[in-house]
């Protein structure tokens, strides 16, 4: 597989299924890399440990990261991504069932490109995720990749 278009860090099998279904009109499932916890997302994006072979691969176009991940939570994933030149400019969208102002503010402070509350209604979740995919993968113009930052 070439570099994925999108990384999804989500631990709920039901949410994964719903999100992949919603993204289908925008991106094929084989172009989405799934991570079940924050540690795996960091290893993949930073090309370390089991994913060290990815050192020369381009990052995905966007990372959709659940806030409440096991091992390393979404805010800590974001904090570490922004600390590394490889992922400093990677578009990161935090997905969460909560819209607590303090958490949203902290995500923004840490450099989230967007914070999206997951609607509880399936139809609204599908529409929201499809719009996210269309924006970040079709409309957004990412900054050019640099050899060093």
Domain-located, residue 147? no
Res. 56 pLDDT band, cuts 50 70 90: confident
Domain assignment present for 97: yes
pLDDT at 3: 73
Share of residues in the chain with pLDDT > 90 (%): 79
Measured in degrees and rounded to the nearest 5, phi and psi for residue 87 equal -120, 5
Containing structural domain, residue 52 = 6-137
Q: What is the pLDDT of residue 65?
A: 97
pTM above 0.85, yes or no: yes
Residue 143, in any domain of the structure: no
Q: How confident is the model at residue 145 (pLDDT cuts 50, 70, 90)?
A: low
CATH of the domain at 28: 3.40.50.2300
Q: With respect to residue 133, please indicate whether it lies within any of the assigned structural domains.
A: yes
H or E, element range at 22: helix 13-23
Query: Beta-carbon neighbour count of residue 145 at 10 Å?
Result: 10
Within a domain: 145 = no
For β-strands 62-66 and 6-9, DSSP reports them as: parallel
- pLDDT (0 to 100) of residue 148: 45
Indicate the number of domains in the chain: 1
120 has pLDDT over 90: no
Report yes or no on 61 lying in a domain: yes
Q: Is 142 part of any domain?
A: no
pLDDT band (50, 70, 90) for residue 1: very low
What is the chain's mean pLDDT, rounded? 91
Q: Is residue 11 assigned to a domain?
A: yes
pLDDT digit string (tens) for 7-52?
999 999 999 999 999 999 999 999 999 999 999 999 999 999 999 9
């Amino acid at each position: 597989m070439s570099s994925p278009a999108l990384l999804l860090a989500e631990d709920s099998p039901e949410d994964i299924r719903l999100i992949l279904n919603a993204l289908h009109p925008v991106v094929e499932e084989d172009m989405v890399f799934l991570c079940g916890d924050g540690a795996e997302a960091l290893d993949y994006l930073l090309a370390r440990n089991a994913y060290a072979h990815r050192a020369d691969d381009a990052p995905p176009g966007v990372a959709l990261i659940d806030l409440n991940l096991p091992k390393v939570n979404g805010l800590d994933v974001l904090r570490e991504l922004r600390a590394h030149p490889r992922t400093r400019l990677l578009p990161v969208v935090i997905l969460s069932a909560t819209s607590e102002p303090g958490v949203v503010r902290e995500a923004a402070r840490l450099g989230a490109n967007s914070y999206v509350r997951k609607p509880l209604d399936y139809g609204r979740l599908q529409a929201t995720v499809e719009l996210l995919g269309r924006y970040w993968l079709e409309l957004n113009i990412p900054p050019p990749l640099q050899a060093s930052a």
